[in-house]
Structure 1
Amino acid sequence: MTPVEIILLGRTLMKIGEQALPAPEDGTPLGGERTVVIVMSDIFENPGTTVGEVARRTGLPQSAVSGSVARLRSVGSVISEPDPRDRRRQLLARNPDLTARRRTVATTTVDEAVAAALGQHTPTDLTTVLSALETLGEWLTPQTLTRLRPDG
């Protein structure tokens, strides 16, 4: 597989993931899920972090991180508190309470979205692809990216 093929596969997988996400029950339109998921994952891995630190680690613009944090706070996935060393900054962390939205997203599978992406397929084809995705997910976690960075 070439680097270009991996990049295109990554894009396809992101689109399938976005398609599989259930719409919020409050009617909030979908959009920007990739950024929100990246920001959420970073905050969950680095409790007590700030918007600026998330932006630096993820490479996302600070404005995109701020917008994602606002969304995550509004649905209760992320909580914040003033930084005792600098009251102007907010320290971000995972809400220890499992919100209905997090529960819904965590229990949703990609099976239907993968099946739709495959088009005409047999049950064996779907099982094969889902198994391959499980294997990739076990081996290529977000934490594996740190091994690709010069500072990781």
Structure 2
Amino acid sequence: MDGVRLLRLGKRLTELGREMVTDHASATLSPGEIAVISDVYRHPDTSVQDIRARTGFAQSHVSTSVARLRERGLLDAAPDPADGRRTLLRASEVARGYIRARVARPAEPVIAAAVPDPAQARRVTELLDELAQLLLPQDGAPRTGGPGDRR
């Protein structure tokens, strides 16, 4: 597999993943807002500056997204107890419940729609499970991913 094909595969998997976790409610969020709320969900009690550093977005973009997400009730904000000038953000209970429900959905229906042959769809699911096991961090340990890494 060459790099271009790997990128195309990654893009297609991202599209399938988005189909699974988005619906009419989340479709009203911009991709940037989705990235911000996803980051806050993974890093509760975080600041705009921390989100900016992790996402690579401009601070103005993060601030605008945060304001919109707070208006929609998807982010909660509280003063930082260590520095009252700073605001800490976390996904609201509504957002956390919604996210948990969406990510818990099985991938099989989306894969079946993308690969109409049932046997091939099962094989794709098996291969994706195997790839996830090989390429994603296990138990919080980062993957080095080097050629000699045989974890």
Distance 1:72 1:117 in 2: 32
Q: Which runs of 5+ in 2 are unaligned?
A: 146-151
Counterparts of 1:1-150 in structure 2, within 5 Å, are 1-24=1-24, 27=25, 29-33=27-31, 35-70=32-67, 72-73=69-70, 74-76=72-74, 78-95=75-92, 99-118=96-115, 120-121=116-117, 123-141=118-136, 147=144
Aligned length: 142
Q: Normalising to structure 1: TM-score of the pair?
A: 0.68
1:15 deviation in Å?
A: 1.0
Distance 2:69 2:133 in 1: 26
Residues 54-111 of structure 1: per-residue CA shift (max 9 Å, x gap):
11122233344335434654354x4321124544431123446775422431322222
Q: Runs in 1 of length 4+ with deviation above 6 angstroms?
A: 142-146
Question: Which has more radius of gyration?
Answer: 2
Residues 7-38 of structure 1: per-residue CA shift (max 9 Å, x gap):
111111111112223424xx5644534x4454
Secondary structure of 1:48 counterpart: coil
Tell me: CA distance 1:75–1:114, structure 2 relative to 1, closer, same or farther (3 Å).
farther
Q: Normalising to structure 2: TM-score of the pair?
A: 0.68
Q: Which runs of 5+ in 1 are unaligned?
A: none
